[in-house]
Amino acid sequence: MALKIMKLAITANSTVDTTPTVERFFNEPASTVVGAGTLTIAVGDFFTDTGAAATTLPALATDNSYFNVYVNGVLQMEDLLAYTSGGTGVGQLVITVPAGSTIEQNSPVVLVVTNFTPTSDTTIVT
């Protein structure tokens, strides 16, 4: 008999679901911020999709989340942003406004937080 590699006869089928939870928060700054400066928006200064005042900013799930910030409809660079989540009444978004840049009074600031809850199922048949 000729030599051959012996291997297991196994099949596997996997199903992976990524279930996103998207939360949006809105703010209109009460005054113009001229760079170099910062705009700090506390959780209580945001309102939600329903128009209600926000009471908490969601935690970011490790390796399964991200947040985006739009100022006047334009996506902002990550290095200009600092997001702090928290329980009721805690949390904030800080936007660093570089020299030569301005956030005008009443410009819409939109914070979008996306967390994923992945699940997987693998069936192995031998």
Asked if residue 52 belongs to a domain, the reply is yes
Question: Look-up: residue for tokens 């991200």?
Answer: 66
* Helix, strand, coil tally for the chain in percent (to 5): 5, 55, 40
Number of domain units in the chain: 1
Q: Which residues of 14-28 are buried (b: 16+ CB within 10 A; e: fewer)?
A: eeeeeeeeebbbbbe
Give me the percent of the chain exceeding a pLDDT of 70: 100
What integer pLDDT is reported at residue 89 of this predicted model?
86
Asked if residue 36 belongs to a domain, the reply is yes
Asked if residue 5 belongs to a domain, the reply is no
Averaged confidence pLDDT in the chain? 95
pTM of the model: 0.86
Asked if residue 1 belongs to a domain, the reply is no
The answer on pLDDT for 1 being more than 80 is no
* Residue 107 C-alpha from the chain's centroid: 21
**pLDDT tens digits along 19-71:** 999 999 999 999 999 999 999 999 999 999 999 999 999 999 999 999 999 99
Give the residue among 81, 87, 125 at the shortest CA–CA distance from 103: 81
What integer pLDDT is reported at residue 75 of this predicted model?
98
Asked if residue 2 belongs to a domain, the reply is no
Structural domain for 110, as ranges: 11-125
